[in-house]
Structure 1
Amino acid sequence: MFMKSWAHICRLQEDNKAKEFPLLPEDLTPCLDRTVINLPSGFEQEMMELLFYLSKNIDNLRNLRPPPNSEISPDVVHATFELTAENIEKLRERVNTHSSRSLLQLHLSTFVIAYAYAWTCLVKSRGGNPNRLVIFLYAADFRYRLDPKVPATYFGNCVFPIGWFEYEARTFSEEDGFVNAVEILSDSVKGLGSRRIESLWKDYLEGSSKIKSATQFGSVAGSTRLGVYGLDFGWGRPAKTEVLSIDRSEGFSMSERRDEPGGVEMGLCLKKIMTDPVVGPGSTMNRTYDWIGFPVWFKNN
């Protein structure tokens, strides 16, 4: 919501050359009331204790300074690939054909389909021991899942990490890997509304203890619902957007496609040796490759 409000103000100032600060419409006016967050007693303190445990700079944890950035490896490659609405529909049909579950039992949203597809390709590109542990997460929006519900305009962090910590690489690297990933993600998304946040938090704590340095770890930044390509700061919609934070992890970003409803744009950042099986040989800027049948704009950092 912050980006939409910021863009709205900038666009009005640019169009009207207004000297006064423009007023925001009701749907873009932030709710700053933290009392709308209703959490069990002591729960916030538990979460803060985990942050203290994970932080390498405990003395400076409670401040607004961003954490120090790690160095970006010189062999890191950044690629962008797009799934069209037709691609997404074909992947849904693949699930319908190969899954033992009915469509009524599955949550086949664009997010679930795209994430499952990208994650299985990342696991396959890593290769290695099929029995190795792999971990993947996403951030769930809990504004409408708390009791009472939080206003859509709440100006604060109301997302919660949801992860899977018990699967081996073979679950996703073998022929039925994509369908397995869809079923796992589907169960998770459908189950969010019926589970209390305390239960999810316990699962996350238990799972976090299993993370080791050699574990393949994946996460997704963004969503197809954020509308980043609809933002206009006064000089038109963006031609291209990227999430820079994925340059230091094996995560990837997700947004809607710029010029097609129902499609997905995903950013991917991996070491060069891992991208070859995914996007093909070479690293020439702006050269187009084929990523499992889908167009990829491939760029070397």
Structure 2
Amino acid sequence: MAKSFTVKVLEHCYVSPPPSSAPQTSLPLTFFDLPWLFFSPGQPLFFYEYPFPTSYFTSTTLPNLRHSLSLTLQHYYPFAGNLLLPTEPGKPELVYTDGDKVELTFAESGGDFGHLSGNHPREVNQFHQLVPKLPNCVSGEKQLVPLLAVQITVFPNCGICIGLTYHYVSADGRTFNNFIKTWAWYCGLRDSYFPIKYLPFNDRSVIIDTHGLEQIFLKEWWSRKSSQEIVVDLSNMVRATFVMSLVDMERIKQWIIAQCRKKNQSPPIHLSPSVLVCAFIWVCLLKTQVGLNGKCFGEDPTYFGFNAGGITRLNYPVPPTYSGNCIGFARSMAEINELLEDDGIVVAAEVIGNTVKKLDKAILGGAENWISEWEVLIGSELHVLVSWSPKLDLYETDFGWGKPTKIEEISIDRTRAISMTESKDLKGGIEVGLALPKSKMDAFGTFFIEGLKLFCNPFN
């Protein structure tokens, strides 16, 4: 492991939209937003190669990053505002007032940039110094929660890390992706015309509550509002990234089809690349957690949770640049002993694919149980959650220094989730990030490598 290092904060400042460029706004949370009140913030890190000294960064790049962030916030002004939490049963809302701001921290690190931006196992605690904290804000009897904080850490003559912490009630992955791409465009100014496809549609009234979910979720939130956050011991945790290529996914697909033919069974109905990767990772993680002998768990359930885009699945139109949450919650379940069998990946692919198909038909089907079902999932001993999506093309986020060297989602350290992004280097490939105790990460790596070898021959 690399030596420990410190991050020296050089400056704290605040960035607002240009004066009078954004309207004073109050945006009540929709039923798509409300479930995210239960979740801790997202914490993505974007690593970029930057072979210049700190002095050059502070004189040229930092002023540009600060100014371009201000220009971006004139469009994405809810990020500069706050989440207003009522003190008695009522509905939270996002509020923005002229002059609201985002805290920006500038720091310098003597850490090993190449080590931190690699795929190999690295201590999770090394990354937490690169993540900004959301400041606490209380105004009178009102509780105001800032929605976004940014930290830019320079590794002299090596690279830059842009770290963000943002509250999920303000944006889903699609909206966040549009936000950071807009910031990158303003910073790089590589095109003569602004990419209109990223301009946000901030009117949340387009979300129609056809199932009466708002009141259900509000009642759930107020009844659980005082619940304690889960504490995770990070002292021996490492994070690593595993890459799966299109060839890997195709081999898994053909192996699954061959196994079904042997048993005269129909193959799973939905074998997309994401489903194949999720099924494989689920089985590898389960073997890592319980070992190959899972008899002590037997028919106990294990869960796989993920989100699905709602804009194309709703039965009414929502602008593709809608700014806010528009995703459905999904939970797949299988018995542990089923997934530990030789053909466990067939079962995993089938239950995940069936869940996707159900969402395609009715994304809000059973939505009244989203919170209670996810509470069961998160409370279970063996479960997997997915953060991010390969469809977001996050590695296309170019601030003018080229594509990111690496992207990490730090919040998975505490949520037992995995992150999924498109591969930086392999077209059509998928990167899977996860955090585990070191001994289990070693075991997972073995199951991952040996598992891919198995699929080289579909007739095994």
Band of TM-score, shorter chain: 0.7 to 0.9
Larger Rg: 2
1:133, 1:44 → 2: CA distance? 29
Tell me if the contact between 1:135 and 1:215 (Cα under 8 Å) persists in the aligned partners: no
Higher RCO (Cα < 8 Å, 6 or more apart): 1
| Residue aligning to 2:218 | 48
**Any residues of structure 2 matched to 1:213-292 within 5 Å, and which?**
213=379, 215-280=381-446, 290=449, 292=451
**Any residues of structure 2 matched to 1:13-28 within 5 Å, and which?**
13-15=187-189, 24-28=194-198
> Once superposed, what is the RMSD of the aligned Cα atoms?
2.9
Tell me by how many angstroms 1:10 deviates. Answer: 3.6
| Residue aligning to 2:95 | none
**Any residues of structure 2 matched to 1:107-118 within 5 Å, and which?**
107-118=270-281
| Residue aligning to 2:283 | 120
Mark the CA change 1:79 to 1:42 in structure 2 (over 3 Å): closer, same or farther: same
Mark the CA change 1:265 to 1:291 in structure 2 (over 3 Å): closer, same or farther: farther
**Any residues of structure 2 matched to 1:81-100 within 5 Å, and which?**
81-99=242-260
Q: Percent identity?
A: 28
| Residue aligning to 2:106 | none
| Residue aligning to 2:240 | 79
1:212, 1:86 → 2: CA distance? 33
| Residue aligning to 2:352 | 185
Per-residue CA deviation, residues 158-181 of structure 1 (Å, 9 max, x unaligned), is 11211135x321121111110100
Q: 1:137 aligns with which of 298, 301, 305?
A: 305
1:101, 1:53 → 2: CA distance? 46
Q: Which has the higher strand share?
A: 2
SS in 1 for 2:391: coil
Between 138-147 and 35-44, the greater mean CA deviation after superposition: 35-44
Note if 1:160 corresponds to 2:334: no
Tell me if the contact between 1:7 and 1:234 (Cα under 8 Å) persists in the aligned partners: no
Note if 1:149 corresponds to 2:337: no
Per-residue CA deviation, residues 97-150 of structure 1 (Å, 9 max, x unaligned), is 1135546x6111111000010001111111142323322200111111112032
Instruction: Return the letter of the residue paired with 2:345.
Output: F
Q: 2:361 aligns with which of 180, 194, 197?
A: 194
Q: 1:37 aligns with which of 200, 207, 225?
A: 207
Mark the CA change 1:13 to 1:80 in structure 2 (over 3 Å): closer, same or farther: closer
1:163, 1:214 → 2: CA distance? 13
SS in 2 for 1:233: coil
Per-residue CA deviation, residues 53-72 of structure 1 (Å, 9 max, x unaligned), is 343369xxxxxxxxx78455
Instruction: Return the letter of the residue paired with 2:247.
Output: E
Tell me if the contact between 1:80 and 1:266 (Cα under 8 Å) persists in the aligned partners: yes
Tell me by how many angstroms 1:30 deviates. Answer: 0.5
Runs of at least 4 residues of structure 1 off by over 6 A? none
2:276, 2:287 → 1: CA distance? 17
2:176, 2:371 → 1: CA distance? 30
Unaligned runs of 5+ in 1: 17-21, 59-67, 282-288, 295-301
Tell me if the contact between 1:171 and 1:180 (Cα under 8 Å) persists in the aligned partners: yes
Tell me if the contact between 2:248 and 2:452 (Cα under 8 Å) persists in the aligned partners: no
2:211, 2:370 → 1: CA distance? 19
Per-residue CA deviation, residues 245-290 of structure 1 (Å, 9 max, x unaligned), is 1111321110111122211110011122322321249xxxxxxx94
Per-residue CA deviation, residues 162-215 of structure 1 (Å, 9 max, x unaligned), is 1135x3211211111101000111111122122251x32245356346458552
Tell me if the contact between 1:232 and 1:238 (Cα under 8 Å) persists in the aligned partners: yes
Instruction: Return the letter of the residue paired with 2:437.
Output: K
Mark the CA change 1:173 to 1:242 in structure 2 (over 3 Å): closer, same or farther: same
Tell me by how many angstroms 1:292 deviates. Answer: 3.5
Tell me if the contact between 1:4 and 1:231 (Cα under 8 Å) persists in the aligned partners: no
Mark the CA change 1:209 to 1:13 in structure 2 (over 3 Å): closer, same or farther: closer
1:211, 1:239 → 2: CA distance? 33
SS in 2 for 1:241: strand
Unaligned runs of 5+ in 2: 1-174, 454-460
2:275, 2:378 → 1: CA distance? 26
2:350, 2:378 → 1: CA distance? 25
Tell me if the contact between 1:92 and 1:108 (Cα under 8 Å) persists in the aligned partners: yes
Instruction: Return the letter of the residue paired with 1:2.
Output: F
SS in 2 for 1:219: strand
Tell me by how many angstroms 1:234 deviates. Answer: 1.8
2:371, 2:347 → 1: CA distance? 24
Tell me if the contact between 1:84 and 1:264 (Cα under 8 Å) persists in the aligned partners: yes
1:116, 1:44 → 2: CA distance? 32
Note if 1:6 corresponds to 2:180: yes
1:245, 1:2 → 2: CA distance? 15
